[in-house]
Structure 1
Amino acid sequence: MSSDQQRPEYRLMAELEACFDRLLEHTEALVAAWQASGAPAWSFDHDTPDTDWLRHALLDVWYQDGQDGRATRSHVGLVAADDTVVDAVERVNGSKQAFAALLAEIRDEVPSLIPEIKAILPLRHPGLHDHLRGTGLARLHLKQCWRAIPLAEAPVARVRMAWYASGRSIKRLTVREAEQKLLALDSDAPHVRIQLRQLAGIPDSEPLAQVQRQAPLMRANLFYREPLEDGRSRRAMNIALPLFVPSPDGRLPDHNLPPAHPPVTRTRARRRDERLEDSAFLPSLRVYRYR
């Protein structure tokens, strides 16, 4: 083996290529298993969900022109699954976990490989490469590669779906951390200088909150046919990909038809204990003060 091939980046790239191959292989096997089962499916945005629909949903791992790198596309649906299909879903999710873990290692050790990964991996599969060239999709969307396929733990009697449009993630920041983030923008810009002065006017010990609004997503409430061993009879989960439900009788659970689009305005009541101020304290960073 040459000295170049022994370098960490070559080893990690080779491992990731093999992991990507297994991910695609297991996904194709899942689609084939579901087709062989003859079980039904329902799709939120496709009138006749079939194997082509399922394959597209599970292999939609590409950036589209102008797509925000933080955003992912959703393919909401329900798929009845026998034992063979359930096993196939678990294999796909296992390969996705391995892919995500290896990517995390690469980001830590050789982050410069990430752009190459997005461009090179599809070339290993001629069918995918032809698809890329034909649709103008240029590179992999890594997050869409490793997001797990939702799978119910047990047979489900009914599913109730609804848009969740009020989600947000909140990260606590110190005054010092906020200052460093502002300085990293452009300390000479007038709007940054204004925010630096505002920040200098509060105590160093005051905690701040950086808020990231989340895109609307579909949430499913699952009601099991029988309580689970731990006594639970229901579960709520987000479904960005088709939800596979174990189905001994080969039927889909009863389900509702959610609205075609998420609500324009907030539908949930504002929590009485909401502790953040209404207006951003540092707009450039989406940072808020606590009340």
Structure 2
Amino acid sequence: MATARPPTEYRLLAELELAFDQLIERVEALCEVYRRSPGAAWALHTPTPDAEWLRRVLLDFWYQDGQDGRATRSHVGLVAANDTLLEEVARVNAAKATFAALLSEIRAKAASLIPELKAVLPFRHPALHSHLRGQGLARLQLKQCWRAIPIADAPLARVRLAWYSSGRSIKKLSVREAEQKLLALDSEAPHVRIQLRRLAGIPSAEPLAQVQKQAPLMRANLFFAEPLADGRSRRAMNVALPLFIPSHDGRLPSYNQPPPAPSEKRTRAKRSDEKLADEVFLPSLRVYRYRG
């Protein structure tokens, strides 16, 4: 006999389902406004950034077959937006914030619901789900649901886009913390036991570094047509979704054409990660020792 859900889970599930429905509706409303009165647009990977393109990228909430669970897809573009369209973008972002807040509450109070939500929520929109399923898309990628649509603070004189590869993020770990992380994997697995013995052979006070490779990001440098009230004349921001730019005449500001993919060569100066040993010390955790 199936166990009844606790009342809190029923409430959270119902609220998140409603938030998801409202998010879809807000995106559809935004795209309809753009369809009726399109401003100029540019996109990195399509020559025809029209209303259908906008709908497709703003509703890209799904895992593709074989997609890394930590990865998200980016859709780089620029959209000239009048006040009406900017209001719709703000409504979408508000819906995304509501969805994110509920999801955070679920992670804290009923984390076991997450896998079910990823599988069940798409069925609330059968036409959308059927279309996506035919393309090998099935489960929700939750971060792609709640990440905000970028908006420029004010009209721009120009935009300069460039790939930014921060390379690796480095988090310091103690020997004790590394041991706990290994034990959480599977202390009986041979490869984990080997790493535990390796860890036991170094001083307990030695600092370690856990390294995470980071995916390249598109960075937009925004140059405002007029200084903002706080005196700023420019701003830099990451743009994983189309950047909406206030425009009274429906035109885009001056912008450059970045390459379609980042260079494989490392162009940034070597950083503190060069202080790390060449060989990984604990492969299962991507943990390195510092050079002596």
For the criterion TM > 0.5, the same-fold answer is yes
Aligned to 1:172: 172
In 2, the alpha carbon distance for the partners of 1:96 and 1:273 equals 35
Residue pairs, 1:195-274, within 5 angstroms: 195-271=195-271
Per the normalisation by structure 1, the TM-score is 0.92
For residue 211 of structure 2, give the secondary structure of its aligned residue in structure 1. Answer: strand
Residue pairs, 1:72-91, within 5 angstroms: 72-91=72-91
| One-letter amino acid of the structure 1 residue matched with residue 60 of structure 2 | D
Aligned-residue offset at 1:172: 2.6
| One-letter amino acid of the structure 2 residue matched with residue 64 of structure 1 | Q
Aligned residues: 288
Indicate if the aligned counterparts of 1:172 and 1:210 stay in contact, CA closer than 8 A: yes
Residue pairs, 1:55-94, within 5 angstroms: 55-94=55-94
Q: Which ranges in structure 1 are unaligned for 5 or more consecutive residues?
A: none
Indicate if the aligned counterparts of 1:155 and 1:247 stay in contact, CA closer than 8 A: yes
Residue pairs, 1:178-197, within 5 angstroms: 178-197=178-197
Per the normalisation by structure 2, the TM-score is 0.92
C-alpha spacing 1:16/1:290, structure 2 compared with 1 (3 Å): same
In 2, the alpha carbon distance for the partners of 1:121 and 1:264 equals 38
The farther-off stretch of 206-215 and 114-123 is: 206-215
The farther-off stretch of 262-271 and 132-141 is: 132-141
In 2, the alpha carbon distance for the partners of 1:155 and 1:55 equals 24
In 1, the alpha carbon distance for the partners of 2:184 and 2:217 equals 32
Aligned-residue offset at 1:90: 1.1
Aligned-residue offset at 1:18: 0.7
Note if 1:51 corresponds to 2:44.
Answer: no
Aligned to 1:32: 32
Note if 1:147 corresponds to 2:147.
Answer: yes
For residue 80 of structure 1, give the secondary structure of its aligned residue in structure 2. Answer: strand
In 2, the alpha carbon distance for the partners of 1:184 and 1:118 equals 25
Deviations 1:227-251 (CA, angstroms, capped at 9, x unpaired): 1122211111111111111112221
Aligned-residue offset at 1:271: 3.0
For residue 135 of structure 1, give the secondary structure of its aligned residue in structure 2. Answer: coil
Question: What value does the CA root-mean-square deviation take over the aligned residues?
Answer: 1.9
Q: Which ranges in structure 2 are unaligned for 5 or more consecutive residues?
A: none
In 2, the alpha carbon distance for the partners of 1:167 and 1:222 equals 23
Fraction of identical pairs, as percent: 70
In 2, the alpha carbon distance for the partners of 1:5 and 1:272 equals 49
| One-letter amino acid of the structure 2 residue matched with residue 126 of structure 1 | P
Aligned-residue offset at 1:272: 6.7
Deviations 1:90-138 (CA, angstroms, capped at 9, x unpaired): 1111111111111111111111111111111111112212213322321
Aligned to 2:163: 163
The farther-off stretch of 163-172 and 67-76 is: 163-172
